[in-house]
Structure 1
């Protein structure tokens, strides 16, 4: 086993969502173990209300990991992955469709300095503003893949899978 990866789905989604399922399959084909927490019960609390319960659930998954895990997150999953990196050691962050703030939640998005990170974001994302995500990435010297796609990133899955493979190879 090369390491462990925890994949966090977005709001109004689930652990079997297209992106996290596809990236889990990529990771497993490369010899990584994976886990996909189910945040659907937490998401019933609304966007701002789901963050702290999601963080608690993610912290439990991190503490159960045999080694510092790579965190992969889509949208709300990306937001909580970054915040979780502030509280526990992680090996890397692969962030998709990143919101840099959640209305009604007091903390902005942040990551632990020095954690290898990568951003994927769509030019036509109408949920998470592109300019804010790119400004965050720029301010943290975070490599990014910007694609002609919307928030769901469904049309870009082959490009995302290739970027994820390269990211994991860089960590290995």
Structure 2
């Protein structure tokens, strides 16, 4: 096995969500171990109240890995993955449809510098306007792939899978 990948779903999804399942299958086919925590019980408390429990659960999962894991997240899962990178070593971050902030949450989006990171976002994201993630990427000098898609990015799965494969290949 090449290493561990922890994939975190968005707030209105679960561990079987399309993006997370597709990326987990791809990683498995490339020899990576995957884990998909189920945050739905945390998410039932609402966006703001779910951040701390998600981060705590994801931090514990990452800390339990033999080597620093790759963290993959979509929307709220991306937000939590970035915050966890501040607390435990991670090999890379693959963040999709990332909100720069969660309304009511005192912690804004932040991540550990020096960690290989790719941000993927939709130009037409109706939940997380593109300007916020563009400003975050510019401030941190991070690669940002903008696709002609909405928040779910389902019409862009081929491109997302290709980018994920490229990231995993670079880490192997």
Tell me the TM-score range normalised by the shorter chain.
over 0.9
Partner of 2:11: 11
What SS does structure 2 have at the residue aligned with 1:121? Answer: strand
5 Å-filtered alignment, 1:37-76, equals: 37-76=37-76
Q: Distance in 1 between matches of 2:136 and 2:169?
A: 24
Partner of 2:161: 161
Large movers: runs of 4+ above 6 Å: none
Shift of 1:139: 1.5
What SS does structure 2 have at the residue aligned with 1:134? Answer: helix
Q: Where in structure 2 are there 5+ consecutive unaligned residues? A: none
5 Å-filtered alignment, 1:109-128, equals: 109-128=109-128
Partner of 2:100: 100
Q: Distance in 1 between matches of 2:49 and 2:25?
A: 30
Shift of 1:36: 0.3
Q: Distance in 2 between matches of 1:138 and 1:154?
A: 25
Shift of 1:134: 1.2
> What are the Cα deviations for residues 113-145 of structure 1, in whole angstroms up to 9, with x where unaligned?
101000000000000110110111122121121
Q: Distance in 1 between matches of 2:170 and 2:137?
A: 18
Q: Distance in 2 between matches of 1:91 and 1:134?
A: 23
Q: Where in structure 1 are there 5+ consecutive unaligned residues? A: none
Shift of 1:66: 1.6
Q: Distance in 1 between matches of 2:81 and 2:160?
A: 18
CA RMSD in angstroms, aligned pairs only: 0.7
What SS does structure 1 have at the residue aligned with 2:5? Answer: strand
Partner of 1:28: 28
What SS does structure 2 have at the residue aligned with 1:159? Answer: helix
Shift of 1:98: 0.6
Is 1:149 the counterpart of 2:159? The answer is no
What SS does structure 2 have at the residue aligned with 1:108? Answer: coil
What SS does structure 1 have at the residue aligned with 2:95? Answer: strand
Count, aligned residues: 172
Shift of 1:90: 0.3
